[in-house]
Amino acid sequence: MMNFNNVFRWHVPFLFLAFLTIRAAHADTLLILGDSLSAGYRMSATAAWPALLDAKWHQQNTRVVNASISGDTAPQGLARLPTLLKQHQPRWVLIELGGNDGLRGFQPQAIEKSLRQIITDVKAAKAQPLLMQIRLPANYGRRYNEAFSAIYPQLAKEFSIPLLPFFMEEIYLKPQWMQDDGIHPNSDAQPFIADWMSSRLAPLVKHDS
């Protein structure tokens, strides 16, 4: 005789896993393609602002995938992008790259070329690119800084895509939120960044259905 208690005990976990799989399949994905500012430099990835944003948006049926790697330049992000697009099939891609290129003194034209190709590839994958403005320390010189900073609004205008402000400009105002290298935000800053980014991303990350 069939023991229904055993059947129930064995099948419920499988049904629950199936439900989670279906839910994940229908969740829209925001992919963050960035560098150490988003990767969680010198901290656990779960403490970085993208992970906190993912938890914050859990009830909104939006999944945040952090594909940021510390030290990445725009060409390195571009090289990783095809695999990321295929794997995650995001609806939106936040591009937070170019800072390491600028810190290394790469030619603005080369940085712009890589970022342009990233945007092009994201659009070709039927995803919405979201570009973040990046700024360099003032000691890099006014001429280079101006040329570098101008890349982002130019690309945003050219492709008619949103340009998000640079969250680090808020962090620099609070030394207690900075790591001792003077470049990266510490773990105390991450909840603020997550909230700050959430408020600016929410109008852009919309669900049509």
User: Among 38, 72, 114, 184, which one carries the catalytic annotation?
Assistant: 184
DSSP state of 57: T
- The whole-angstrom separation of Cα 36 and Cα 41 is 5
d(CA 101, CA 51): 25
Rounded to an integer, what distance in angstroms lies between the CA atom of residue 40 and that of residue 27? 24
103 vs 181: CA distance, rounded Å? 14
The letter for the amino acid at 205 is V
| Residue 184 designated active-site | yes
Distance CA 63, CA 59 (A): 10
Q: Does 181 qualify as catalytic in the annotation?
A: yes
> How far from the centroid of its chain's Cα atoms is residue 128's Cα?
13
At residue 165, φ and ψ (nearest 5 deg) are -70, 160
Q: Which of 44, 160, 181, 209 is catalytic?
A: 181
Q: Are 140 and 101 in contact (CB under 8 A)?
A: no
**Catalytically annotated residue among 35, 36, 54, 149:** 36
Q: Which residues lie across from 95 on neighbouring strands?
A: 33, 131
How far apart, in Å, are the Cα atoms of 190 and each of 39, 43, 124, 155, 200? 11, 10, 32, 28, 15
**Active-site residue, 188 included:** no
Task: Report the catalytic residues.
Answer: 36, 181, 184
